[in-house]
Amino acid sequence: MKPYRIAVLPGDGIGPEIVREAVKVLGVVAERTGVRFDLHEGLVGGGAYDRFGTPLPDETMQLALASDAVLLGAVGGPKWESLDYSVRPERGLLGLRSGLGLYANLRPVVVFEDLIDASPLKPDVVRGIDLMIVRELLGDAYFGKPRGVRIENGLRIGINTMVYTEEEIRRIAKTAFDLAQTRRKKLLSVDKANVLEMTELWRDVVTEVGRDYPEVELRHMYVDNCAMQLIRNPGQFDVIVTTNMFGDILSDEASMLTGSLGMIPSASLGAKTAMYEPSHGSAPDIAGKGIANPLATILSVAMMLRHSFDRTAEADQIEKAVRMVLKEGFRTEDISQAGARIVGTTEMGDLVVERLRAFSG
């Protein structure tokens, strides 16, 4: 069988540490299945800027385009915060998203039973939570024009534009409905249709697409209400579909149901090459200390196996191995709790690898 080609882009901060662990897990999958993964490393983000003066060198974009999937760590850090917007590390990430045509960002929020106490919310509120945020990734104020800060009548004025075309809404709505159909068949679309015309169009188009999915129960909610409901009663949600900006905010909020942003993987889908990355950032404050939680990145590899390589069994096994390690009481610092056995990044990766190796078949 032809090997899968994977672009590995560790990025900045804790990126290289956590990606190393995820790559180890891929290695075990290769051992166990005979599937070959050809890994090619590339630079993105602040590190790429330091070396080439751009956060997304051509070479990296070409590497990504020529790959079957991209595994990304994280980008950014204080060192690059005063750079011009056009060359900030974040532009590297946004450039990859748009260059690869990745319009659908899937962020699963799953509360692991053994981590219930890590959540700042009451156990009864978060127990059993299993929801999926489908965030549109290529539109909205992130890419809308006009944009920028300029001088008008001697005063500075800052502008960003929230914009969506009907087609952009339709394709993400389809992704969300398709996904809901494989789950509990409940879809919530989040907008601000009481104030923003653009999201009124969003609501209309999502409703239209819904006519093709009679089995899926569709609801609409304003984003402010959704932010509140995610804390009050997150159990009501199955799949949530929303705009780029609202999805950015709501997914960070929802991650706290699980106790740590360090537990949320993500998949960005759209065209041929999908990208997989933890939902958290580069955590410069703990970079290099060997204490970062690699589980979101390891779980991102599971998403890669499921969505890009159709390897559901192996994806399930990785998730199971993670559950086992947590059940045995191992924790990185971000999810530590009384009585836990605190381990570092490498140890956590090793534990998952060991459990995975122990599965038969």
Query: Angle at CA 277, nearest 5°, toward 274 and 280?
Result: 150
Q: Tell me how far, at minimum, the Cβ of 12 lies from ligand IPM, in Å.
A: 11
CB of 30 or CB of 94, closer to ligand IPM:
94
In angstroms, rounded to a whole number, what is the distance separating the alpha carbons of residues 251 and 116? 18
Residues near ligand IPM (CB under 6 A): 90, 93-94, 248
Q: What DSSP letter does each residue of 227-275 carry, written as one string?
A: HHHHHH-GGG-SEEEE-HHHHHHHHHHHHGGGT-GGG---EEESSSSEE
In terms of Cα–Cα distance, which of 73, 74, 63, 69 is closest to 29? 69
Q: Which residues contact 125 (CB under 8 A, 6 or more apart)?
A: 231, 232, 233, 234, 235, 257
* Residue 182 C-beta: closest distance to ligand IPM, Å: 24
As measured in angstroms, the least distance from the Cβ of 296 to Mg ion is 13
Question: Between 223 and 325, whose beta carbon lies closer to Mg ion?
Answer: 223
Q: Which does 204 bind (CB under 5 to 8 A by kind): ligand IPM, Mg ion, none?
A: none
Least distance (Å) between residue 258 CB and Mg ion: 15
**Which residues contact residue 154 at a Cβ distance below 8 angstroms, ignoring those fewer than 6 apart?**
none
User: Is the CB of 248 or the CB of 334 nearer to ligand IPM?
Assistant: 248
Residue 2 CB contacts under 8 Å (≥ 6 apart), including other chains: none
Coil, strand or helix at 69: strand
Q: Which does 90 bind (CB under 5 to 8 A by kind): ligand IPM, Mg ion, none?
A: ligand IPM
Distance from C-alpha of 47 to C-alpha of 56, rounded to nearest angstrom: 10
Query: Judged by CB, which is closer to ligand IPM: 12, or 314?
Result: 12
Q: Find the shortest distance in angstroms from Cβ 105 to Mg ion.
A: 10
Residue 93 binds which of Mg ion, ligand IPM, none (CB < 5-8 A, kind-dependent): ligand IPM
By C-beta, is 130 or 252 nearer to Mg ion? 252
The letter for the amino acid at 161 is: T
Give 92 or 210: the residue with its C-beta nearer to ligand IPM. 92
Residues engaged in binding Mg ion (CB under 5 A): 248
Least Å distance, CB 162 to ligand IPM, is 14
Contact status, residue 69 vs residue 100, Cβ threshold 8 Å: no
Which amino acids are annotated catalytic? Answer: 142, 192, 224, 248, 252
Using CA atoms, how far apart are residues 276 and 263, in angstroms rounded to an integer?
A: 14
**Proportion of the chain in helix, strand, coil states, percent, rounded to 5:** 50, 20, 35
* Length of the chain (residues): 361
Residue of minimal Cβ distance to ligand IPM:
90
